[in-house]
């Protein structure tokens, strides 16, 4: 009978040793989840900033192309009206 009692004690002590494991796993997984969410938010902000910079560059290129003189372009000269190219564009 002592072997059965020893086995029961071993099972009981093992069960007592496992208490609190769920809390530890929850803390680890929540930390990982929050870190992942931070990366997602920062990555989204990075992509938005990159897209805004590309849009701004495209608008600047269009404004510069609009300042070119087509008559001089056809003649083979690069004529640029610098005042029109530098002036900020007014929106109606």
Q: How far is CA 54 from CA 19, 29, 43, 50, 58, in A?
A: 55, 37, 17, 6, 6
- For residue 84, name the pLDDT band (cuts at 50, 70, 90): low
Provide the whole-model pTM: 0.50
What is the model's pLDDT at position 62? 84
Location of structure tokens 């929106």 = 91
Rounded to 5 degrees, φ, ψ at 77 are: -105, 150
pLDDT digits (tens, 9 = 90+) for 10-45: 777 665 566 678 888 999 999 999 999 999 999 989
Sorted by sequence, the CB contacts under 8 Å of residue 78 that are 6+ apart come out as 68, 72
Gap between the Cα atoms of 10 and 4, Å rounded: 10
Where are the chain's structural domains?
23-86
Task: Let me know: does 67 contact 81? Beta carbons within 8 Å.
Answer: yes
pLDDT digits (tens, 9 = 90+) for 46-71: 999 999 999 999 988 887 777 777 77
């Amino acid at each position: 009978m002592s072997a059965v009692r020893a086995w029961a004690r071993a099972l009981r002590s093992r069960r007592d040793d496992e208490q609190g494991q769920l809390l530890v796993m929850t803390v680890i997984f929540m930390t990982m989840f929050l870190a992942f969410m931070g990366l997602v938010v920062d990555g989204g902000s990075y992509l938005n900033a990159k897209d805004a910079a590309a849009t701004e560059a495209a608008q600047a290129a269009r404004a510069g192309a609009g300042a070119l003189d087509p008559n001089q372009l056809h003649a083979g000269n690069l004529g640029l009206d610098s005042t029109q190219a530098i002036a900020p564009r007014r929106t109606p």
